[in-house]
Structure 1
């Protein structure tokens, strides 16, 4: 009997603290060399909104860490799937910085976030293997790909895949890019299902480029000259990432779609990493251009305008929100072919073609 991998449950946790663009009006933004910008913050913020599409973002409350957010999303996914948590074979958690306590300058990844979440879930089964993956923003998508591999290999039947992050705690407040980042968590249950292989995960593709691209996203010191040089924050070469993504993400998506045998006209939704609205729009345009066709209306749901960029959490939270009917004029129906795609630190790109 043929076995395929199917997402049977989803869950997300959207933090309660809303940080609006106007809340940055009194911040001091600096250039990389420590010099001030010529424009005032009002102009900087308007330009930022025009490019990224971000109007507000969500931050976790001080009492919650990444593992807590992941736990909340996991509870919802397990309930949605209607499974016994003790039957889970794997818990795969994607993140970038582990648990960073509010006001701390240190990441805490001992024990792993996966172990912490398994503990919070109260799973006693020793054969439920819990581990973390560091794969940049595409981490959750890669976790789903790994779950698919375990299922295809016959060593797993049920996997919990989580993407969770509190990027608000690793940003340099003097860097205007700090306005991009946000917190959140999304999770899903991936299960083995017997029958036709023309459903669930149909195909996938993953790319890692490092020769020129390895440090497009990196840890670096604050732009404020007299700050502690030993304390590092998330930094990025925005233009480099933009150019790299526009060229390479559509190609990776095409590789995945061509493997699936699905026609481009059958793709109903693309759940792409919420990195930058303009960038995502151009990626999708270039993807459809590869097939000499126009972008269908409504094919790309977007949540970045109100949730910001929560890295590994953007794709699973977006999918969960659409699935639950929480996004206006967006829905997924049985039989729909969707694509999950992401790009991020590494530089890594991945894509999954999935029949809902």
Structure 2
């Protein structure tokens, strides 16, 4: 008996042109969370940072671009690659956390929604193309995929465009060492409903929100520099607590999603995880294999882009996916029948995981 499944019809991304190397932070004045100047030489701070995160460089948008602009670029790329008629889209879902933030006015601009702006930029006339945003922390793009999957499998929709776009460079504190983690970017995916008598495409997904004790592991706050001139709020995080939460929780959510799909870990070809911190991602992968009492982790099972692209929040996974599909990642390739597992963790704290089988 045939059932409806959601398959990825096409993908696209926008990687900003401006490369920012770790050496570009040598002249920053860093302060701790208590407002005390850090006297450790910046060379040592940067060296330790790179060892932990593996980030060597990141990408920033130029001053003339905002999140909705790069979301549009990624969307246009995905539409071209999928060879669909843009007017056939039933949904446009844009995941982000800060809206449009201009270079000269760092306030969040959320009206109209970024999805509405993208639809307008694409020139879509169809009033039945419903456009809305998803603010869900770093797992926002994956949450958009999960929502779209429900729409498509209901039979009331045929196609959806899901975008993750963020300009974290605009809300990072130059006096906070964590600012070196953040980057800008956008990734997009076209989901399409198909009928199949064998499971294909999105097989399962699981989500989780832990707000009681973990809601404020990521938050907005003033600059670490007590003498900072300005009233902006910057992205802040309790790094160690976030690391521990992710390590203890993400592997369980991934295992739950695999169980829902009746897929064993040995059948997984790729693990596409939010590119937040290389050390953390490696630890999550090891903990996942430990849950299955497995020690040997297959080489190249977890593609990584964080060393060159940094952490662009909701954009990391769709960008990674687009590069993977376009064969632009060294030693990485996917083919028909491969099983991909997606996982993300972020502000909220929110976690989600999705199992996908290549058609």
Report the TM-score when normalising by structure 2: 0.98
From 343, 346, 349, give the equivalent of 1:347.
Answer: 349
SS at match of 1:296: coil
RMSD: 0.9
Matches within 5 A, 1:269-308: 269-293=270-294, 294-308=296-310
What displacement does 1:105 show?
2.1
Q: Deviations over 1:122-158 (max 9, x none)?
A: 0000000000010000000000000001011222110
Mapping of residues 68-83 of structure 1, within 5 Å: 68-83=69-84
Partner of 1:267: 268
Question: In structure 1, what is the equivalent of residue 114 of structure 2?
Answer: 113
> Aligned partners of 1:191 and 1:262: how far apart in 2?
22
Native 8 Å contact 1:94 1:132 kept in 2:
yes
Give the 5 Å matches for 1:130-145. Answer: 130-145=131-146
> Aligned-pair distance for 1:230?
3.8
Instruction: Write the distance in 1 (CA, Å) between the matches of 2:38 and 2:228.
Output: 18
Residue correspondence of structure 1 range 193-272 to structure 2 within 5 A: 193-227=194-228, 230-272=231-273
Counterpart residue number, 1:184: 185
Q: Aligned with 1:177: secondary structure?
A: helix
| Equivalence for 1:334 | 336
Mapped contact 1:3–1:197 kept (Cα < 8 A): no
Query: Following the alignment from structure 1 to structure 2, what is the Cα–Cα distance between the partners of residues 12 and 198?
Result: 27
The one of 310, 316, 321 equivalent to 1:319 is 321
Q: Residues 138 and 348 of structure 1 are in contact (CA less than 8 Å); yes or no, is this contact kept in structure 2?
A: yes
CA contact (8 A) 1:27 1:174 kept: yes
Number of aligned pairs? 356
Residue equivalent to 2:169 = 168
Give the Cα separation in 2 of the matches to 1:26 and 1:230.
23
Name the stretch that deviates more: 196-205 or 126-135. 196-205
Deviations along 1:84-119, one digit per CA (max 9) or x if unpaired, are 000000000000100001122211111000000000
SS in 2 for 1:54: coil
- Structure 1 runs of 4+ off > 4 angstroms? none
Q: CA separation in 1, counterparts of 2:9 and 2:314?
A: 20
The unaligned stretches of length 5 or more in structure 2 are none
Paired with 1:258 and 1:38, the residues of 2 have a C-alpha distance of 49
User: Cα deviation per residue 1:2-39 (whole Å; 9 max; x = unaligned)?
Assistant: 11000110000000000000000011011112211131
Aligned twin of 1:39: 40
Partner Cα separation in structure 1 for residue 22 and residue 143 of structure 2: 31
Query: 1:150-208 deviations in whole A, cap 9, x for unaligned?
Result: 01122211000000000000011000100000000000000000113411000000000
- 182 and 154 in structure 1: CA distance in 2 versus 1, 3 angstrom threshold: same
Q: Aligned equivalents of 1:51 and 1:202: distance in 2?
A: 34
Map of 2:55 onto structure 1 = 54
Tell me the alpha carbon deviations over residues 200-233 of structure 1, each in whole angstroms, 9 at most, x when there is no partner.
0000000000111000000000011123574210
Instruction: Please state if 1:22 is matched with 2:61.
Output: no
CA contact (8 A) 1:103 1:169 kept: no
SS of the residue 2:269 aligns to: strand
Q: Give, in whole Å, the separation in 2 of the partners of 1:27 and 1:41.
A: 8
Q: Distance in 2 between matches of 1:131 and 1:228?
A: 35
Deviation at 1:354, TM superposition (A): 0.2
Distance 1:163 1:228 in 2: 32
Q: Distance in 2 between matches of 1:60 and 1:155?
A: 37
Distance (Å, rounded) in 2 between the aligned partners of 1:137 and 1:263: 26
SS in 2 for 1:235: strand
1:221–1:228 CA contact under 8 A, matched in 2: no
